[in-house]
Amino acid sequence: MAAVLTREEIEPVLTGTKFHQFLGIRLEEVNEQSVTIRLPYNELFYTSADGYIHGGILATVIDIAGYFAVFSQLNQPVPTVDLKIDYLRPGRAGDLLFTASVVKLGRSVSIADIVAADTSGKAVAIGRGLFSSKQE
């Protein structure tokens, strides 16, 4: 297996997408076991009635974090095949960190587990993504 991609190799791919730019996500950390992405606070992502982050935003960044965890190890596109999210508690105003770890690198499907947490470390949601790792 090839070496894990570096921050310098991953960052332009992550930040080069207009949707990712809209979200404002940033690569926080990359190592051999995981990738961490920061979602800076943006009032547009929070419900006005109760001040919680919208679940769709959480699901989106969980998907992105899982993708980049697998991508960092395979260095090829890995489209999402399935995504499961468990919402644990309301995400209040503030930055959120999404840490994704690869559970399995397979010939056709790879698996990543993702934890979305506030900056104090309290988990807001967890996810598991299945990503197509089939070589063309």
pTM of the model: 0.94
Q: What is the model's pLDDT at position 50?
A: 76
Q: What is the model's pLDDT at position 132?
A: 97
Structure tokens at 109: 């499907």
Apex 15 CA angle, 12 and 21, nearest 5: 160
Every domain of the chain and the residues it spans: 7-132
- State which fold the 7-132 domain adopts: Thiol Ester Dehydrase; Chain A (3.10.129)
Instruction: Tell me which amino acid residue 17 is.
Output: T
Nearest to 114 by CA among 81, 72, 74, 84: 84
Strand partners, 30: 35
Q: What is the model's pLDDT at position 2?
A: 62
Q: What is the model's pLDDT at position 36?
A: 98
Neighbouring residues of 87: CB distance < 8 A, sequence distance ≥ 6:
55, 58, 124, 125
Return per-residue pLDDT of the chain as tens, 136 residues.
Answer: 567 899 999 999 999 999 999 999 999 999 998 999 999 999 999 987 778 999 999 999 999 999 999 999 999 999 999 999 999 999 988 999 999 999 999 999 999 999 999 999 999 999 999 999 987 6
Instruction: Tell me which amino acid residue 99 is.
Output: T
Dihedral over Cα of 9, 11, 15, 19: its sign: positive
Distances (CA, A) of 42 to 52, 54, 55, 107: 11, 11, 14, 38
Q: What is the model's pLDDT at position 10?
A: 96
Give the C-alpha separation, 68 to 78, whole Å: 9
Neighbouring residues of 61: CB distance < 8 A, sequence distance ≥ 6:
23, 25, 37, 39, 96, 98, 116
